[in-house]
Structures are given as structure tokens and as C-alpha cells.
Amino acid sequence: MQQQGDSRTNFGGLTTISEQRNRNHCLGSLLFRAGTRVLGGLVLLSLLASAPFVHRVVHAQSQPNLSADPDIFRLERVAVAGGAELVTIHARLANLDATKSSSEEWVPLVTVLRDTLGDLSPENDRLRYVWPLTYTRPSLKQRLTGAVPFFYSRAGNKKGFSGTPPAVLDLASPDREVWNKIFWTALQSLLLDPYGTPVKASTRSYQQNVSDYRKSHIVRALSVLALYEALEGTSAFSESELAEIQARLRLTDKTFGGLLGDLKLHKFNEKQMTQALDERGHNWELLRQRAEAESLYFEPLQLPDGSTTHVLLWVAKPDLETRRGQTFNRRFLNIADPWSDKRLANWQGHSEVRYFDAESRIVSADTPGARPVEMIPLALYGLDNPKIPMVLVDFRDALNPKKREMTRRVLQDVTSNVLSLSSFGQPAYFLGRSVFDFVTGRRGMDINQPSRLRTYSQLKLLLSLSESLNPELKRQIDGRLEKVSLNPLENDLSAESRLATEQYAALLAYARRADGLPAKLDRDRRAELVPLEHGKAERVMFKLGNILSFGKYTHREKAGPAIVNERLDIARRLNHHTRFLLQVAQSSPRIEVIWNLDEVKRSLQFIAEHGEQASSTAIGAAASIFRRTADEETRRLCLDSLSRIENPRAKQELLRISQDAQLVQAGKDLVSAFVALQPARPKTQTPLSVSRDKAGDLTGQQ
């Protein structure tokens, strides 16, 4: 296909590989090693993070036109009685079922319940439940096979749906999941494990399958939210709401993730985004360099927004003859040698014809001098993995990816469920496992790696949404993907589309019933009122009762809807402004550089007016903002807020500020005045106003 010594060429996202294997591709950092290439003209290949689990790859000749097809997603809002709305993202999915006449259909993918308290202000909104509509309760057959130890295969599709769709998470009560998990773990260890290995292995296998099934749909919900925001330019949710949803869904993978406070979600989300970007950039470069060294073809697979999470490797059929007998290094590729594989010479599977000119550049078929070249797909890889690229589909050996994934499950099931070995209880096992993981990771062996759940879920979404892949190639990938699945609870893409539509119809019916979602929303609001009415000791007892009753008992206040809404309105607004001020305080050394001071002042004003309910977090934020701004009015509002908060820490912060050496005497006198007034200030008093003429500039400017 190429003359020996030619350089590689970009063509529509596919890259030919040359014999020049030792070129230095480093352009400053590992994240950007897929950087600048010279191909007759300058082609910029950049990796950008567009959203969680989204890494942008832009090719000069294949840059996606995000506005070319604006109808990939659509948003639907449905009002719920009592002051709430269901926000649903629909997607136009490619139909992989050849028996259907329609090639594509609109499918509801993710629904979120937003509790608005019946008004238009976003400050008192609270997100409640998240429904990935492809996530459903398993059928009886799926449940039974899910409990069979060492059964690593799908058990067929769920035929129909009835009842109410299950939510994967209650965003307003994430700690419930943590306590339930702890309770069931204790129940398993104390009551089920002593019955012997069969019971232990069966129950633990079922719990693992249920957990993996839930995680896979959480990953897909995250990807859908990110794609919608990237394609539409505006999100269905505000920035803080989107960060909350993404962070809470990610935290479901952490044992104590549900206990993380709301004020730390934004920081956690940013950290996870950065880590995902690092992993993807690392795996991109490992796979690209290895493919180049082995004279294979590297094609990134793009989602509709241009983000890349998977890569296809191809081989040119003419190269099979010219490179026969060439040494093949499987490191990081983890596939069989293509140069000595007789199956490829007589390949009967899917292949595609690409056209090249005399300089090995891709051209259209009608270009003068264009020559056809048959391309054969070898393997498909996922980039979202902490260590090395994961082979997800091997077109020559369908069992290759499955055997690699099974090594993790078999090792886990044998050591934990049969031999009862633990990294915490057996130091020898911990040491041996650590050495094994280190050696296989260093050598690029895709054995016992972290689960493929995340990248498998993303690939399913890619197959549904991507229009760039050949339909026949899509079907082949989907068929192989379903065979690789280890979870008996999973359904294929066609079944998931059908179940999503049925479940959304059931959810709308549930929302219209007076005893359905509106009644549940009222109960949730009265439960949300409990922390405002009871101390920590009482709340601990209520939580213990909830855990011991398997969630049947939940303490709720008996106040009427009007009183509940009024109390929650103030509490939610206070939490909203506190979170905003904390974000401001943790940002720039000079907040006026990047923040709108009018918004900051508005939040400080609200904190001042409701100081009797403000938390210690608001105290720290106000004190930090005072030190990070030179604006007079903002500083006075910080002092006024601190003087009104009924907490000893507020007075301590005022005293620290008064002792600041950078304050002039007039400023210290002003702070002292706030300190003196702080204990006697009534709750309903309006904010203190101090004229600038009397106090002057707090930093010494008169």
C-alpha cells in the first residue's frame, strides 16, 4: 500500500503507518503527543476535554460539523403536580435490528426529576431522581442466571416491562446508598457466608452482577449528559446542577462516595475530569505508537460531538503479502500476528475499500489515478482505562476480549467467594497480587485489568449515535460486543431501545397519578425538612431505624405543604448562595477578576438576611472573600454577614480580620464595631449600612 520509507498520512481519521518507527513524537507532554504532523500541509491533531469521559480529537480532513445534524438530541420537559418537572433527553438512535423497517428512531435515554417548589427561581430548585431509561429490573431468568457462580454470559433479553422504572440514584439523599451497601455487606458476612461456599458464591455473584449492571448504565447516563451539552451548546441543567449530577453518579463507584458533602462536589468533579483526560491521552499515545511500529492503521471513532473514546486498528490487504514473515510485537495490542495469519489472506468477514492517490492520500473514488485498497479491521480498543488500552473487539478471535475480561472475574470469584482470601486479611495474597498487577501492567498485558464496564457502555452509545461507521461494521461490532458481555442481566441494544420507550411511558403515567410521583415528592420534601427540625442525635436514630427496616421506615415531618415549601425555600436558597460563595472563595486571589461582583454581593446579602440559619461554611467563605477583594461594598457585606451569623466562629473570624496588619485604623474600628454589635443584633434587623465617608477605604485609601 505504501512504498517503504514513506511517512504516515491522515485520511479522514484513518492513519497509514510507515517504516519510520523511531521518530520523536513528543511535543511537550503526554496529553498532547498526538500533536502536530506534517503532511504536505500542517495538520493539527489536538486532544481536548469537552466533558467528563469526553476527549476531543480533531483531524484537519475529518473535523466533525457539529451543526450538520442538529436533531441528534431533543429535550422534553413534563410538569409534575406539586411543583416539579421531569427533564428528559431523547436521542435519535441508529437501529441495529435488521428486522425493523425503520433505520432509526427517537428513544428517551435519561430522565431527571427537578423539584422546583412550583416557582421559576432556580435558586431553590433541587434535583431528585435520575432514571437511565435503558436500566430496568432484571427478569426472573436473568436473576436466576445472575446468581449462578462462574456463569459469564448473557442470559437473553428481558421481554417486557411493567411497574415503575427504577431510579439509579436519589441525588437529594445519596448517603442512603452507602448505608444500604454497608448493611447488606454485613448481612452477607454474618448470615449468608456461614452457610458454605455454594450459598456464598451464589449470593456474592448475584450482588456483583447487579452492581456491574447498574454501573454500566450510570456511565451511559453520564455520557449522554455530556454529549447533549456539547452538541446543543446549552445544557438541560445549570453548571452547578450538571456538576452535581456527574459527581454523584461517579461517586456511586466509591464505597463511601455518598457521604461526600454537596460543597465538595464541584472540586471532585474537576479532579475526575482531569484524571479521565490523563488516562485517555496516555492510552491514545501508547496505542498510536504501537500501531505505527507494527505498520497498522489507526482510526479514532468519533461520537457526534467529535469526542473519541475508542479506536479501530486496520490492516491493508496488499500489506499482508509484502510484509509476510515480518516480526510482530503484541505489546499493548494483545492480538494475534496478522502477517502470519492465513485467515486474513482469505478473509471472508467485513472489509472496506478506500481510494488513494499516488502520494497515498485518501481521495474519492472518481479522482483521476485513484487506486482502490481493501482494508480489513483487526481490533477495536477502548481508551478509558487507568493502565493500558483495552481490546474490546477482536475481529479474528471473538473470545479474545472475553477471556481477558474473565481473568479478572475468575480471579476475584475464586479468591473472594471460594477461598475467602482478602488483601486486608492475608498479607501474602496482597503482596502476590500487587506483584502480578505490576508486572502485567508494565508489560502491557491486558489481564486482570480494571473492569471494562465504562468503556463497554460508551461503545454501546457510540454504536447507537455514530453515523460515520459503516452499518455492516456496526452490526458486526454489536454482535461481537454482546458475546463478550459477562453479565447475565444485560440486554442488547435493540432490547434496550424498546425497554427505554416502555419505561418512559410508564414513568409519565406514574407522574400523572395523584398517588404516584406527586405523592412521593411530597413525602421526600417532608423527609428533607427533618434536618431543619431535629438535632444530630435524633437524626442518627432516624437513620438507624431506616437501615434496620430495610428502608421501610423513613421519618418525615407532618407539616402541611405550605409550611414545608416555605421552610425548604429559605433552606435551599441559603445552600445555593453558600455553595456559590465557597466556589468564589476557592478561586482567584482577586475575585473581581473572574467573578461578577453583583452576584457575589447578592449572595452575601442573602446570607446576612438569614444569618440565624447560615452554616459554618458560609462563615469561612465570607471571611475568605473579604481578604480576596478590594471592593469596598463587597467587604462591608462580608462583615455584615459575619456579624449576623449566630455562630461563635463568626465572631472569631471578625476578630482575626480586625487584627490584620494590612488594615488601617479606620478599617479596624469598623470591624470592631461589627464585633461589638454581633451578639445583640436581632434576627430580623436589616443589614447594617456604614457610610464610606465615615469609615474610608479599609485598606488605607481615604
| pLDDT score recorded for residue 645 | 86
The model's pLDDT over 452-461, given as tens digits with 9 standing for 90+, comes to: 777 888 888 8
> DSSP per residue over 6-53, as a string?
PPP-EETTEE---S-TT----SSSGGGTT--EEESEEE--EEEEEETT
Phi-psi region of 350 (alpha: psi -120 to 50; beta: other; left: phi over 0): beta
pLDDT at 31 over 70: no
Which residues touch 624 (CB under 8 Å, ≥6 apart)? 585, 586
41 strand-pairing partners = 39
pLDDT at 4 over 80: no
Distance between CA atoms of 161 and 502, rounded to whole angstroms? 7
CA 44 to chain centre: 28
Phi/psi of residue 390, each to 5°? -100, 130
pLDDT band with cut points at 50, 70 and 90 for residue 33:
very low
Distance between CA atoms of 399 and 147, rounded to whole angstroms? 23
pLDDT at 36 over 60: no
Distance between CA atoms of 568 and 561, rounded to whole angstroms? 10
| pLDDT score recorded for residue 661 | 58
Of 314, 286, 664, 325, the residue nearest 443 (C-alpha): 286
| pLDDT score recorded for residue 677 | 57
| pLDDT score recorded for residue 672 | 66
| pLDDT score recorded for residue 483 | 80
- How open is the CA angle 664-670-672, to the nearest 5 degrees? 100
pLDDT at 77 over 70: yes
| pLDDT score recorded for residue 227 | 84
Q: What would you measure as the largest C-alpha separation in the chain, in angstroms?
A: 92
656 strand-pairing partners = none
Exposure string for 416-440, b = 16+ CB within 10 A, e = fewer: bbeeebeeeeeeeeeeebeeeeeeb
CB distance 642 to 619 below 8 Å: yes
pLDDT at 540 over 70: yes
As given in the structure block, the three cell numbers for residue 456 are: 463497554
Q: Which range among 6-15, 260-269, 386-395, 643-652 shows the weakest confidence by mean pLDDT?
A: 6-15
CB distance 380 to 311 below 8 Å: yes
Segment 477-500 shows an average pLDDT of: 87
Specify which of 226-235, 350-359, 511-520 reaches the highest per-range mean pLDDT.
511-520
Q: How many CA atoms lie within 13 A of 392 on its CB side?
A: 29
Handedness of CA 551, 552, 553, 555 (dihedral sign): positive
Q: Please, is 648 exposed, middle or buried when counting C-beta atoms within 10 Å of its C-beta (0-12, 13-18, 19+)?
A: exposed
As given in the structure block, the three cell numbers for residue 297 are: 492503521
SS3 97: coil
Exposure string for 485-513, b = 16+ CB within 10 A, e = fewer: bbbbbbbbbbbbbbbbbbbbebbbebbee
| pLDDT score recorded for residue 506 | 95
Of 600, 50, 577, the residue nearest 280 (C-alpha): 50
SS3 628: coil
Of 233, 231, 235, the residue nearest 244 (C-alpha): 235
| pLDDT score recorded for residue 683 | 43
Q: What secondary structure letter does DSSP report for 405?
A: H
Distance between CA atoms of 545 and 166, rounded to whole angstroms? 23
The model's pLDDT over 307-364, given as tens digits with 9 standing for 90+, comes to: 788 999 999 999 998 898 889 998 889 999 999 998 998 898 899 998 888 887 778 8
SS3 371: strand
The model's pLDDT over 146-188, given as tens digits with 9 standing for 90+, comes to: 999 999 888 889 988 888 999 999 998 888 888 888 888 888 8
Query: pLDDT higher for 443 or 474?
Result: 474
Q: Cell 461520537 sits at which residue?
A: 303
Query: pLDDT higher for 483 or 590?
Result: 590
Segment 582-602 shows an average pLDDT of: 90
pLDDT at 253 over 60: yes
What average pLDDT does the structure give for the chain?
79
pTM: 0.78
